[in-house]
Amino acid sequence: MYMRPESLENVRTHYCAGCGHGIIHKLLAECLDELEIRQNTILVAPVGCAVLAYKYINVDGLEAAHGRAPAVATGLKRARPENIVISYQGDGDLLAIGAGETLHTANRGENLTVIFVNNAIYGMTGGQMAPTTLEGQKTLTSPYGRNAAEVGFPIRACEMLDTLEAPAYIERTSVHNPGAVRKTKKAIRKALEYQISGAGYSFVEVLSMCPTNWGVDPVTGASWVKDAMIPWFPLKKFRDRPAENAEKEAS
């Protein structure tokens, strides 16, 4: 019998059918309960679909200006190091106007956790091209498909952050099928555990569905993640510093 996590509010969802945000909210809520950190957690959410996370996650929260969630989270963590601080962001927010905050927060190795929901499009504002929109993908602002010669290629966030020295944990997962959902929960939990132990900056990118703005049904949306997104955004653990240090000590 399914029991709703205590950290998940009992409210009706506003998300579109097939959207991945609700799945990710549930996984985060389960991890908060299992680690017993709900009452000590502060969630920072910016502009975009991610902003409404505060309606569903039963923790203290703060809204940030578009792209500024990592900067706000940094201030919170430095002022209240005893709290668990989570920055929950979408692709348009994290990699467009917020690219500078993302890069420098990671480069400083701030001891906080970023959950990055990548659905390859701007969701809340009607389906415009995002920094992660795939080459050839049609959106409201790229009706003939993304042209890399004009606007550049889709940005791979994990690969970019993996070039930095400071981050402790970087992983890309997905929620397009049950197996992927289980792996995503493990990644979110590990990212939170790293913050609890003071290991440093942790970053989990989750490939997610946006059937409404993709113009497909939910089943096709899940398949599109597997067939179109994963080849460009491979699911992978890029950085696991505590585990790497343990392996060095063992050898």
Query: For residues 59 and 225, what is the distance between their CA atoms, to the nearest angstrom?
Result: 30
Residues 24-80: pLDDT tens digits?
Answer: 999 999 999 999 999 999 999 988 888 889 899 999 999 999 999 999 999 999 999
In percent, the amount of the chain with pLDDT more than 90 equals 88
Which pair of structure tokens corresponds to residue 153? 């290629």
Residues 147-182: pLDDT tens digits?
Answer: 999 999 999 999 999 999 999 999 999 999 999 999
- Fold assignment, 21-250: Rossmann fold (3.40.50)
Q: Indicate the burial class of 119 (C-beta count within 10 angstroms; 0-12, 13-18, 19 or more).
A: buried
Is 246 a residue whose pLDDT tops 60?
no
Read out DSSP for 180-242? HHHHHHHHHHHHHHHHHHT---EEEEEE---HHHHTS-HHHHHHHIIIIIHHHS--EEEEEHH
Query: For residues 6 and 159, what is the distance between their CA atoms, to the nearest angstrom?
Result: 35
Query: For residues 99 and 91, what is the distance between their CA atoms, to the nearest angstrom?
Result: 10
**Domain extent listing, the chain:** 21-250
Is 247 a residue whose pLDDT tops 80?
no
pLDDT confidence band for 248 (50 / 70 / 90): low
Residues 74-124: pLDDT tens digits?
Answer: 999 999 999 999 999 999 899 999 999 999 999 999 999 999 999 999 987
pLDDT at 1: 60
Picking from 200, 182, 183, the residue whose alpha carbon sits closest to that of residue 244 is: 200
> Looking at this protein, which amino acid is placed at residue 87?
S
- Which residues, including other chains, have CB under 8 Å from residue 216's CB and lie 6 or more apart? 224
The residue behind tokens 């460009």 is 232
Pick left, alpha or beta for residue 49 (phi over 0 → left; psi -120 to 50 → alpha; otherwise beta).
alpha
Is 249 a residue whose pLDDT tops 70?
no
Is 196 a residue whose pLDDT tops 90?
yes
Buried b (16+ CB within 10 A) or exposed e, 170-186: bbbbbbbeeebbebbbe
pLDDT at 50: 84
pLDDT at 49: 85
pLDDT at 2: 72
